[in-house]
Chains A and B, each alone.
Chain A
Amino acid sequence: MTTTARTLLQVNDLKKHFPLGGGLFGRSTRVLKAVDGLSFTVDRGETLSLVGESGCGKSTVAKALMRLYAPTAGQVVLAGRRIDDLSAGTLRPLRRRMQMVFQDPFSSLNPRMRVRAILAEPIRNFGLAKGSADLEAKIAALVVRVGLPREALGRWPHEFSGGQRQRIGIARALAAEPDLIICDEAVSALDVSVKAQIVNLLRDLQRELDLAMLFISHDLAIVEHMTHRVAVMYLGKIVEIGPRRELFLAPKHPYTQALLSAVPIPEPGAGRTRIVLKGDVPSPINPPSGCRFHTRCPQAFDRCRVEEPRLDTVGTGHLAACHLNDAAAPAVAA
C-alpha cells in the first residue's frame, strides 16, 4: 500500500519542462527540465520541507502543484482525486483545499485592495460565508488569528511592514479553509526576527488547524525548526527524502551532507568540517549524465557518471538516490 488514510497530497513523477527559444517559425528543440520526475506524499497535519539551492526547481514545483503552470507529465492527487488533468473550471472549486503563501510579501498583495477585500475574495469565491455578517465575522477572525489588530481590515497593503504583509498573505491562504498550504520561500524575504515570528505562526496554525504544509525553503535552520520530513532537491529531482531527525543527523546523500555542513552554527568557535562543493549548479537544460550530482560530488566514482541512481530505502521512511548506499559501493564511501 503506497498511501494511507492520512495521505492528503500524492505527487507521482511530476515533470515540468520549459521549451526554450523557438523562433517565429522554428520549433524549439532545447528544453529546460526545471522539475524532472518528482514523487512524494504529504499527510494531513504534516509538514514536508522541500529544500535545495536556488534554481533547483523548488518554486516550479509549487507553481505546478497549484496549476499556475500546467505540469508536463506526472500526476497530482489531492485527497484521492487526480487534479493535474482537470479543466480550469473543474479545478476552481478544488483549489480551495490547496492554498499558497508567496515569497514576496510586497508583490503578493494587490496594492489597490484593502485588507478586507483581499481576505473576502477567497471566502466569496468559494462560497464559504452565509451572508455578509458571517463574511465580516470570518474576516475579522482571520486577521486576529494571524496576529493583526482588527483595524488592519480597513488599511491598504502599503501601510504594513513586510512581516505584517506576510501575515495578511497567510490569512488570505487560510481564508479558503484549506487542507494544505504551500509556502514558497514564505519567510526568505523577511528580517531574521520577523522570520522567526512568521515561522512560529505557521507552525502554530498547522498544529491548531491540522494543516498539511509543503514548506519550500533554502534555509535549513528554519526547516529543522518546523518540519516533520525533508525532501532535498537537486536539479529538478529529489536526491534524499526522510524524517527530519534522521535526515539531519545521518544524511545519506553527499549533497545533503554538503548542504548541512554549510548551515552556520551560532556559537563562537563552534566549527564543523565544511564540505565545499566545487563549481556551480549545472544547467538544467543539459543536465549531467548518470547521477546529476556527479560533477560536484566529492565522492563520485565511475559508476556515477553513467548510471543514474534510484531513490532507495536507506532507513525508516528514508530514501536517498546515491550509489554509495549500495552494498556494492566501493569501500571508500563514508
Chain B
Amino acid sequence: MTATVAPLSGPSRARDPSPQDAPHKGSPPAGLAVATPMPDVIPARKRRGPVWGYVRRNPTIVVGGILLLIVFLMALLAPYLGTVDPTALAPAKRTRVPSAQYWFGTDMLGRDIYSRVVYGARVSLLVGFSVALLASVAGLAVGLISGMVRWLDGIVMRIVDGMMSIPPILLAITLMALTRGSVQNVIVAITIAEIPRVARLVRGVVLSLREQPYVEAAVTTGTRMPAIIWRHILPNTLAPMTVQATYICASAMITEAIRGFIGAGVPPSTPSWGNIMAEGRALWQVKFYIVLFPAIFLSMTVLAVNLVGDGLRDALDPRMAKDA
C-alpha cells in the first residue's frame, strides 16, 4: 500500500524493523513481577438487608418519608378526617378557641381552622411537587442544552442570569397583577423563579460529566451525541437533580405561603397555609392559634421534604455504599 499524503519528514524514514526488536518472550526483565493468573474473585453481591437495615442506613429518608406520607394522606383524605366545609362562614362562632368541636378553633369569619388546615395541605403539596417537577424538567432541558451545545451556552446563561436578577417576590406580584390569582398561576410564577437554579446546577454537572473518560470512551466507540446524552450524561445527572428537586419542593411550599401572606398567592376562596396565616396575622397577639396551626404544618412538611432530600443526597452519593 502506498501512502496518499505528503512526504514524511518524520522518524519513519529509516524504519526497518528487525527481529531483535521484538519484546521479551521468555523471562520478564527484572523490575516486573511475574504475572500470575488473576484470582477472579468478585465480592459476592451484598443482599439488600431487611426493612430495618434500610431504616438504619437511611434514617433521615425514613423519618422524612413517614412525615410526608402523613401529610400526603391528610391531603388526599381531607373530606373523611372529621372536617367540615373549610369555606363555610359562621359569623356567630368567630374566633373560638380550640375545643372538642373546633379542634384548632375558628377564624374571624367563623371558619373551622382544622378543616382549613387539612384542606390547605392540598395546595401546599400540589404547589410544592408541581413546581419541583416542572422546574426540574425545564431546568434539566436548559442545563443540558447549555452544557452540551457550547456555542449556545453564553446566550442561554445570560438569559438565566437575567431571570435570576429578578427578585422572586417581585416577579410573583407582577404576575399576579397581570393575571388572576389561581393555583396554576402561583405554580407558574414559582417555577419560573426556580428554573435558573436547576439550569445552573445541571449545566455544572454536565460540564464536568462531558470531560469524564467514560464519555470520551463513548465518543471513541462511535456513540452518537443523542445516545451519549441519554445513556451517559442524563443518568449521572439525575442524582444531584433529585436532591435539588426536593429542596425546590420545600422552597416552593414556603414561597407559596409567603405569597399567600402578602396577598399575591392563591385566592382567599381556596384555603392554603399561607393565606390562613395571612388572615390570622391581624389577630396574632390575641388569637395566636390561627397562625400557629398552619405554621406548624408548614414547618413539619418542609422539614419532612428536606429530610428526604438530605437522605437522598447521602444515599445517592457514589462515595457512600452503593448498594444501600
Contact = CB atoms under 8 A, between A and B. Distances in A.
Interface of A: 1-5, 7, 10-13, 38-41, 43, 46-47, 63, 66, 68, 75, 77, 79-82, 92-93, 95-96, 98-100, 102-104, 107-113, 121-122, 125-126, 147-149, 151-152, 155-156, 158-160, 163-164, 169, 172, 175-176, 192-194, 196-197, 199-200, 203, 221-222, 224-229, 231, 238, 241, 243-245, 263-267, 311, 313, 316-319
B6 A12 contact: yes
Contact of B322 (A3, A156, A163, A197): A156
B23 A111 contact: no
B147 to A, nearest CB: 17
Contacts of B219: 68
B214 A316 contact: no
B56 interface: no
B99 interface: no
B214 A318 contact: no
B9 A39 contact: yes
A245 to B, nearest CB: 6
- Place the interface of chain B in its size category: 35 or more
B174 interface: no
Most central of B33, B220, B236 by chain A CB within 10 Å: B220
B5 A10 contact: yes
Interface stretch (B34-42, B78-86, B163-171, B182-190): B34-42
Interface of B: 1-18, 20-24, 28-38, 40, 42-43, 45, 212-214, 216-224, 231-232, 235-236, 318, 322
A40 B221 CA distance: 24
Nearest to A191: B33
Given A147-B38, A196-B32, A319 B220 contact: no
Main secondary structure of the interface of B (DSSP, over half): loop
B219 to A, nearest CB: 6
A77 B4 contact: yes
B217 A102 contact: yes
A105 B171 CA distance: 48
A274 to B, nearest CB: 16
A158 B16 CA distance: 45
B235 A112 contact: yes
A156 B43 CA distance: 12
B31 A221 contact: yes
Nearest to A151: B42
A313 B32 CA distance: 32
Given A77-B5, A82-B4, A147-B38, A39 B12 contact: yes
Nearest to B214: A110
Contacts of B30: 265-267
A98 B219 CA distance: 12
B5 A231 contact: no
A41 B213 contact: no
A38 B9 CA distance: 10
Given A41-B15, A80-B2, A112-B235, 19 more contacts: A2-B13, A7-B12, A10-B5, A12-B6, A39-B11, A41-B8, A79-B1, A107-B214, A113-B232, A122-B221, A122-B222, A147-B40, A163-B38, A176-B222, A196-B33, A197-B36, A221-B31, A222-B32, A228-B22
A245 B42 contact: no
B2 A108 contact: no
